[in-house]
A and B are shown apart, each in its own frame.
Chain A
Amino acid sequence: MLRECQWRKEMAEKWSWMLAPWTRCWSWRGNGVGQEDDRHVRANDREYNDKFSYADNHIKTSKYNVITFLPMNLFEQFQRVANAYFLVLVILQVIPEISSLPWVTTTVPLVLVLVITAVKDATDDYFRYKSDQQVNNRQSLVLRGSLQNEKWMHVRVGDIIKLENNQFVAADILLLSSSEPHGLCYIETAELDGETNLKVRQALTVTSDLDADIAKLADFNGEVICEPPNNKLDKFKGTLYWRGNKYPLDNEKMLLRGCVLRNTDWCFGMVIFAGLQTKLMQNCGRTTLKRTSIDKLMNTLVLWIFGFLVCMGVILAIGNTIWEQKVGRSFRDYLPWDSTISNNNAVFSGFLTFWSYIIILNTVVPISLYVSVEVIRLGHSYFINWDRKMYYGPKDTPAEARTTTLNEELGQVEFIFSDKTGTLTQNIMVFNKCSINGKTYGDVYDEFGHKVEITEKTTCVDFSFNHLSDGKFRFHDSSLVEAIKMEEPSVQEFFRLLALCHTVMSEEKNEGDLVYQAQSPDEGALVSAARNFGFVFRSRTPETITLYEMGAAVTYQLLVILDFSNVRKRMSVIVRNPAGQIKLYCKGADTIIFDRLDPSNEDLMDTTSEHLNEFAGEGLRTLALAYKVLDRGLFEEWMRRLLLASTVMENREEGLAALYEEIETGLMLLGATAVEDKLQEGVPETIACLSLANIKIWVLTGDKLETAMNIGYSCNMLRDDMDEVFIISGHTAGEVQEQLRSAREHILGLSRVGSDVGLEKTEMLSDDSVFEETIIAEYALIINGHSLAHALEPELEQMLLETACLCKTVICCRVTPMQKAQVVQLVKTNKMAVTLAIGDGANDVSMIKTAHIGVGISGQEGMQAVLASDYSFAQFRFLQRLLLVHGRWSYFRMCNFLFYFFYKNFAFTLVHFWFGFFCAFSAQTVYDQWFITLFNIVYTSLPVLAMGLFDQDVNEANSHRYPSLYRSGQLHLLFNKRQFFLCTFQGIMTSFLLFFIPYGASSLGVRDDGLDISDYQSFAITIATSLVIVVSVQIGLDTYYWTAVNHLFVWGSLATYFAILLALQSDGLYLIFPSQFRFIGSARSCLAQWSVWLVTLLTTVMCVMPGIAVRFLKSELRPTVTDKVRSLQKAISKQSPRELNLRRVRRTSSRRSAYAFSHQQGYGELITSGKNMKVSTAAPSPSIHSPGWVQNGTGLLENGMKRKDACFVPSEHSGTWEGMERTEQVPETICSGSKGTQQTLIDSRGNSNGDI
Chain B
Amino acid sequence: MPKEQDLANRPDNTAFTQQRLPAWQPILSAGIVIPGFVLIGLAFIGIGVALFLTSRSIQVQEFDYTGVDTTSSCYMCSSTNVPNCVCYVNFTLTTKFQGMVYFYYALSNYFQSHRKFGASRDYYQLSGDTTYFTAPLDVCIPFQYANTTPIVPCGLSANSLFNDTFKLYQIVNGTTKLVPFDGRGIAWWSDYNIKYQNPKVTPLKDAFKGTAKPVNWPKPAYELDTTDPSNNGFVNQDFLVWMRRAALPNFWKLYRRITDPDYVGGLPAGNYSIEITYNYPVISFNGKKRVVLSNVSWMGGRNPFLGIAYLVVGSLCIVMSIVMLIVYAKFKFPDDV
Q: Which residues of A contact B (CB under 8 A)?
A: 96, 100, 327, 330-331, 333-336, 338-339, 356, 382-383, 385-389, 391, 393-394, 396-398, 889, 915, 918-920, 922-924, 950, 952, 956, 997, 999-1020, 1037, 1040-1046, 1067, 1070-1071, 1074-1075, 1078, 1080-1082, 1084-1085, 1089-1091, 1094-1095, 1098, 1101-1102, 1105, 1108-1109, 1111-1113, 1115-1117, 1126-1127, 1130
Contacts and interface: CB of A to CB of B under 8 A. Distances in A.
Contacts of B186: 1010-1011
Given A918-B249, A920-B113, A1040-B25, A1109 B324 contact: yes
A1004 B100 contact: no
Contact of A1014 (B30, B110, B122, B251): B251
B54 to A, nearest CB: 10
Contacts of A1041: 23, 25
Contacts of A1084: 190
Contacts of B33: 1108-1109, 1112
B228 interface: no
Contacts of B137: 1075
B337 interface: no
Given A336-B142, A393-B2, A1091-B306, A1006 B300 contact: yes
Interface string B100-132: 101010100111011111100011101101000
A1015 B246 contact: yes
Interface in B1-36: 2, 6-13, 17-19, 21-30, 33
Contact of B29 (A919, A999, A1009, A1127): A1127
Nearest to B317: A1105
A648 B205 CA distance: 124
B79 to A, nearest CB: 16
B117 A1111 contact: no
B156 A335 contact: yes
A342 to B, nearest CB: 10
9 contacts: A96-B138, A950-B23, A997-B309, A1009-B185, A1010-B186, A1010-B296, A1105-B37, A1105-B313, A1117-B327
Nearest to A1013: B300
B281 interface: yes
Give the top 7 A-B pairs by smallest Cβ distance, nearest first.
A1081-B190, A1006-B301, A1019-B247, A386-B17, A1074-B123, A922-B115, A919-B113
Nearest to A1113: B327
Contact of B28 (A333, A922, A1006, A1111): A1111
Contacts of A1071: 127, 194
B252 A1012 contact: yes
Contacts of B245: 1015-1017
Contacts of A330: 284-286
Given A100-B115, A1016-B118, A331 B127 contact: no
A1013 B111 CA distance: 16
A334 B160 contact: yes
B328 interface: yes
B114 A922 contact: yes
B49 interface: no
Contact of A396 (B8, B17, B302): B8
A1014 B246 contact: yes
A226 B298 CA distance: 94
A510 B310 CA distance: 91
Contacts of B252: 1004, 1006, 1012, 1014
A1081 to B, nearest CB: 2
B250 A1004 contact: yes
Nearest to A1109: B320
A1074 B116 contact: no
Contacts of B190: 1067, 1080-1082, 1084-1085
Q: Which of B106, B284, B332 has the most CB of A within 10 A?
A: B284
B11 A386 contact: yes
Contacts of B185: 1009
B114 A391 contact: no
Given A391-B11, A1003-B250, A1117-B327, 7 more contacts: A387-B18, A396-B7, A889-B19, A1004-B303, A1067-B190, A1090-B298, A1098-B306
A1005 B28 contact: no
Q: Which of A336, A1006, A1014, A1044 has the most CB of B within 10 A?
A: A1006
A723 B132 CA distance: 91
A1089 B303 CA distance: 14
Interface of B: 2, 6-13, 17-19, 21-30, 33, 37, 40, 44, 47, 51, 100, 102, 104, 106, 109-111, 113-118, 122-124, 126-127, 129, 137-138, 141-142, 156, 159-160, 185-191, 194-195, 241, 244-254, 257, 281, 284-286, 294, 296-303, 305-306, 309-310, 313, 316-317, 320, 323-324, 327-328, 331-332
A1115 B21 CA distance: 26
Contact of A1016 (B17, B19, B188, B247): B247
Contact of B21 (A394, A999, A1043): A1043
Nearest to A919: B113
Contacts of A1006: 102, 104, 252, 254, 294, 296, 300-301
Contacts of B138: 96
Nearest to A886: B19
A1019 B12 CA distance: 51
Contacts of A387: 11, 17-19
A383 B306 CA distance: 49
B298 A1008 contact: yes
B127 A1042 contact: no
A919 B324 contact: no
Contacts of B327: 1113, 1116-1117
Nearest to A1124: B335
B285 A331 contact: yes
Given A396-B9, A1074-B124, A1127-B29, A1016 B328 contact: no
B96 to A, nearest CB: 18
Contacts of A1108: 28, 33
Q: Which of A924, A1041, A1078 has the most CB of B within 10 A?
A: A924
B27 A1130 contact: yes
A1154 to B, nearest CB: 34
A878 to B, nearest CB: 13
Contact of B111 (A335, A1020, A1115, A1117): A335
Q: Which of B8, B21, B252, B300 has the most CB of A within 10 A?
A: B300
Contacts of B194: 1067, 1070-1071, 1080-1081
A924 B44 CA distance: 33
Given A327-B111, A1008-B300, A1011-B188, A1109 B37 contact: yes
Contacts of A1004: 106, 250-252, 301-303
Nearest to A1123: B27
A1113 B324 contact: yes
A836 B118 CA distance: 58
Contacts of B284: 330-331, 333
B116 A335 contact: yes
B55 to A, nearest CB: 10
Contacts of A391: 9-11
Q: Which of B33, B106, B111 has the most CB of A within 10 A?
A: B111
B25 A339 contact: no
Contact of B309 (A396, A918, A1003, A1098): A1098
A393 B7 contact: yes
Contacts of A924: 113-115, 118
Given A1043-B22, A1070-B195, A1105-B317, A383 B17 contact: yes
B78 to A, nearest CB: 14
B293 to A, nearest CB: 11
B114 A398 contact: no
Contact of A1098 (B29, B250, B310, B331): B310
Given A335-B156, A393-B10, A1112-B33, A1091 B300 contact: yes
B23 A1043 contact: yes
B10 A396 contact: yes
B111 A1116 contact: no
